[in-house]
Structure 1
Amino acid sequence: RIRTLLERLGLPVTVTGLDGDAIHAAMAHDKKRAGKKLRFVIPQALGDVVVIDDPGDAVVRRAITSVLE
């Protein structure tokens, strides 16, 4: 739903010219990490988020791939 709204507003939902492996490696230094595990804050609706700790490498890589053109 959020992605559809962004698209309707003409805002970008994908990026070009970035390397998925480099993005994944940089995430190891993210300030939201919980110890050595990645932490994600995912919007569910306006004003509502869910925090996901350590979703797993495969899920993270799929998420990165989904926004790369």
Structure 2
Amino acid sequence: MKKLVMLAIAVLGTTAMVNAQTTPAQTTPAKEDKATKHDKKEAHKKAKAEKKEAAKTETAKQETAKAKK
């Protein structure tokens, strides 16, 4: 009799666990934020562009000084 009760409890417990309502799955997954990149190339390009600009203005100054002579 004891074995029969234990078997009934096991069957009912298993059935309850199988039929238990789980939390509903999200229909749309949460959007992940992109990690910000520390773009070294962009900073390097910017510094290089500034150097070029400075060189151009220096060359332009020299050319205007030559033209005045």
Note whether the superposition's TM-score is higher than 0.5: no
User: TM-score normalised to the size of structure 1?
Assistant: 0.19
Q: Where is the helix percentage greater, Structure 1 or Structure 2?
A: 2
Work out which of the two has the higher radius of gyration on C-alpha atoms and give 1 or 2: 2
